[in-house]
């Protein structure tokens, strides 16, 4: 009996892993798949001016920043990549670009969507004018410490299809992350502008709408 339970648990984890891999490789929906929302333009790279630039303009020193050794190390170490892209002479290199999409919501507000740097990743929609989103746009992770704590507290429960209740969903970061981890979610958000962003985020992630 114990072996059977372990085998079933292993099969469940494998199935979830396959689903997550498929999500990570997903193709973004077309405009027709998101009724009422208009895609403003193709994905563009976000370009930031690191603090290391001082008052100078960012650039890309390809010999220094795009060397195979540097790119290989950056692909394996997120902290090293953040440090590399934080250098003024590397900020404009392609390896440091962060793709985004701009959308016009039914109410007329402008929303931005990015793919998060979480495990697993998901598409996240938010209003770029919101001051609380500034750091998230740079790191592609909102509230890193709390997000890590949320992962540690919920991933086992979500792996077995657990239920999360999110009261005050805001743009839906924890709702979407819980869905990405495999949970079902009940979310309450009274503000219409936040509802629009949350609805777009749910729609852009295949399989999420059926569990929220």
pLDDT at 43: 60
pLDDT at 103: 92
Strand, coil or helix: 63 = helix
For 141, what's the count of Cα atoms within 13 Å in the CB-facing half-sphere? 17
For 33-44, what is each residue's pLDDT tens digit? Answer: 577 898 886 666
Q: What is the dihedral of CA 140, 142, 148, 149, to 10 degrees?
A: -170
Burial class (CB in 10 A: 0-12, 13-18, 19+), 136: buried
The tokens describing 163, both together, are 């239920």
Of 188, 172, 179, nearest to 126 by C-alpha is 172
What is the rounded CA–CA span in Å between residue 136 and residue 147? Answer: 12
Query: Alpha helices of 2-108 — where are they, by DSSP H?
Result: 2-24, 62-65, 68-76, 78-85
Task: List the chain residues with pLDDT less than 70.
Answer: 1-33, 41-48, 94, 97-98
pLDDT at 2: 52
The tokens describing 49, both together, are 């001016």
Query: Per DSSP, what are the bridge partners of residue 98?
Result: 46
């Amino acid at each position: 009996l114990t072996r059977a339970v372990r085998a079933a648990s292993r099969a469940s984890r494998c199935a979830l892993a396959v689903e997550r891999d498929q999500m990570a490789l997903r193709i973004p929906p077309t405009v027709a798949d998101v009724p009422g929302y208009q895609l403003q333009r193709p994905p563009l790279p976000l370009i930031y001016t690191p603090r290391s630039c001082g008052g100078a303009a960012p650039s890309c020193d390809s010999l220094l920043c795009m060397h195979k050794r540097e790119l290989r190390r950056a692909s394996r170490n997120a902290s090293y990549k953040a440090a590399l892209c934080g250098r003024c002479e590397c900020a404009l290199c392609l390896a440091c670009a962060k793709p985004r999409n701009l959308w016009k919501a039914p109410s007329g507000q402008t929303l931005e969507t990015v793919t998060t740097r979480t495990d697993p990743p998901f598409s996240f929609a938010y209003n770029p004018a919101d001051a609380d989103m500034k750091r998230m746009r740079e790191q592609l992770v909102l509230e890193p410490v709390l997000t890590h704590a949320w992962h540690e507290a919920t991933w086992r429960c979500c792996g077995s299809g657990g239920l999360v209740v999110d009261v005050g969903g805001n743009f839906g970061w924890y709702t979407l992350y819980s869905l990405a981890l495999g949970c079902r979610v009940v979310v309450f958000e009274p503000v219409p502008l936040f509802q629009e962003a949350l609805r777009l985020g749910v729609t852009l992630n295949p399989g999420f709408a059926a569990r929220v």
